[in-house]
Chains A and B, each alone.
Chain A
Amino acid sequence: MTYRGIVLPPRRPYVFNLPAAEVQSGHTTPFELIWRDGRTTEGASLHDGKVVGPMKVEMYVQFRDRPTNNNPAGFAMRAWDWNVYSMNMEEYRQKQNWREDGRDCAEKYIPESWQRFAMVVQFPPHIILTNNPFFAVYDYPEGESSDPDGIRNDELTETYRHCFSYSPFFRPALLLIERPAAGHSYRISWLLGESDAKVASALMPLQRQRQRAFARALLGMRRALEGDDPAKAEATRQLAEDVYSVLASVAEHVQKLVGGTPLDPSSLEISLMVLDEEQLKKPVTGDKAYPCLRIAAGTHFSDPDYRDLSLFVGDGNAGRAWKRRVARIFDPADKNPKNRIYVPVSKSLSHRFLMSLPLIDRESDALVFGILNIGTFDTAQAEILRPLAGDAEMEKIANYAQSYALQRLMELFKL
């Protein structure tokens, strides 16, 4: 988005407030200024506003020199929203607001008069659709929070139908409208189908039961230790020490993999996350609560934000690793913003390097028991850990996580 012709009153600081960026699901990222081709006035800088969280970001631009009529300022900026789309019904059912008919959509509200509006949805090859995507215009006379589905505007939908196209071969859905009517929402929808692929097959009830038992046991252990009942805590102590031993051994293995370079435990983060289906979490935009990933054991429980961290399936590095059943690397040094899908623990606690490894059942690729996170909050230590993101190293650490960590944890919980 580009802003031009900014003029500010003669009062320091020279600040231009940006509208908040907000997502209803998934998470957004802070804005970044675009400097190339002189798009941003020299001396401009971005700053955090009142709200900076995974789902809502408020920022402002400050200018070093006062923008005047004779010398107005301008800037270009961008932000990335990570909306966590599902590839099939199995994934969709784990999301907030999933629908029985499998309908999912991308939508853009047009608030003012625009010369041209283009919206492209590129569907990945592995998405399962039951029919071709379709287009409609929607209105929200009651407000989006009271009527999230909206009311279809058949007249405008018909007017702009010819502006929509979809190619089943290349899978782009394209909407291109000259001078679109303002005050309406333009929506591209699609219907998800059940996947027949092994990797995304629906979990059998028995598998689901084992997954839940694993999560319940680990979260129960944490809650017993944190609780006020000393007898309960004492009864859990031995089991907890065994679990910590597994994670400590992972740390030892990581140190070996980085050539024995001493690691600093104060900024080394090792944690085990599981899906909490008992203490559900409400998204900021709705009243219904959903399962979320929580830390069952971790190295930074002295930090309250770390203790309280929870991620919906698909959010952040660990949530996305869970959803897609892949190992994911978050590295802020990576220049590609698409590789920086991340929700910080708090304003002051943010990973400098993080790998999230799914612990996958040996019988079914569809069954993820937990996420093993290995990372650091320290820039220097990130340099040491970064080689772990190589192909060979990833295979080594992933195998260790599966063959030792998961197997040992299953033994401890007799699953």
Chain B
Amino acid sequence: MAVRVSRETSVGSATRSFRFENVRDPARDQRHYEEGRASEQERFHQGSIAQRVFDRLSLVKPSNLRLAETAREHVGAAADDAA
């Protein structure tokens, strides 16, 4: 769904919120959709922001969380050793 947004205004100052208004723009819809889908395919580039965000999102399971904490401890221990 394409939307047009407009900053809400109140007396004295513009508030920091934006109202949505549906507009029909199938071409823009399609372009955004394809761009997003393409980005999904590309996200596995190591070190990309998408890949790193994906990795963080995946840390939802308690077992994963424990692994992440262990990994951090290892990194901390390695840093201590190096020091």
A residues in contact (CB < 8 Å) with B: 222, 225-226, 233, 240-241, 244-253, 255, 262-263, 265-266, 268, 270, 297-302, 320-321, 324-331, 334, 336, 338-339, 358, 360-362, 365, 389, 391, 394-395, 398-400, 402-408
**A169 CA / B32 CA spacing, docked (Å):** 45
Q: Are B49 and A398 in contact (CB under 8 A)?
A: no
The answer to the question of B70 belonging to the interface, with a C-beta cut-off of 8 Å to chain A, is: no
Q: Are A252 and B59 in contact (CB under 8 A)?
A: no
Q: Are B5 and A327 in contact (CB under 8 A)?
A: yes
Query: A296 — nearest CB in chain B belongs to which residue?
Result: B60
Q: A253-B39, A255-B49, A403-B32 are in contact. Are A398 and B57 (CB under 8 A)?
A: no
**A266 CA / B57 CA spacing, docked (Å):** 11
**A250 CA / B57 CA spacing, docked (Å):** 12
Q: A246-B40, A252-B39, A301-B60 are in contact. Are A326 and B49 (CB under 8 A)?
A: no
Q: Are A226 and B61 in contact (CB under 8 A)?
A: yes
Leading 4 A-B pairs by shortest Cβ distance: A404-B36, A362-B1, A403-B32, A249-B39
**A255 CA / B49 CA spacing, docked (Å):** 8
Q: Are B1 and A263 in contact (CB under 8 A)?
A: no
Contact partner, B19, options A266, A326, A329, A399, Cβ 8 Å: A326
Chain B residues positioned under 8 Å from A389 (CB to CB): 16
B window 67-83: CB within 8 A of A: 68-69
Q: Are B33 and A408 in contact (CB under 8 A)?
A: yes
Q: Are A249 and B2 in contact (CB under 8 A)?
A: no
Q: B49-73 interface mask toward A, CB cutoff 8 Å, 1 = contact, 0 = none?
A: 1111111111111100100110000
Query: A304 — nearest CB in chain B belongs to which residue?
Result: B65
Chain A residues positioned under 8 Å from B60 (CB to CB): 222, 225-226, 240, 297, 301
Q: A339-B16, A399-B28, A403-B2 are in contact. Are A241 and B53 (CB under 8 A)?
A: no
Chain B residues positioned under 8 Å from A321 (CB to CB): 17
Chain A's interface: helix, strand, loop or mixed, by majority?
A: helix
Q: Are B7 and A391 in contact (CB under 8 A)?
A: yes
- Given A251-B49, A327-B18, 13 further pairs, Cβ under 8 A: A240-B60, A248-B43, A252-B43, A253-B36, A268-B49, A299-B56, A326-B17, A328-B18, A338-B15, A362-B22, A394-B18, A399-B28, A403-B31
**A323 CA / B43 CA spacing, docked (Å):** 33
Q: Are B54 and A244 in contact (CB under 8 A)?
A: yes
Q: List 22 A-B contacts (CB under 8 A).
A: A226-B62, A240-B58, A247-B53, A249-B43, A252-B49, A253-B39, A265-B49, A268-B53, A299-B57, A320-B17, A339-B16, A389-B16, A391-B18, A398-B3, A399-B28, A400-B36, A402-B2, A402-B3, A403-B28, A406-B1, A407-B29, A408-B36
- Min CB gap A250→B, angstroms: 8
Q: A233-B61, A252-B50, A403-B33 are in contact. Are A329 and B2 (CB under 8 A)?
A: no
Chain A residues positioned under 8 Å from B62 (CB to CB): 226
Query: B58 — nearest CB in chain A belongs to which residue?
Result: A244
**A405 CA / B37 CA spacing, docked (Å):** 9
**A198 CA / B20 CA spacing, docked (Å):** 13
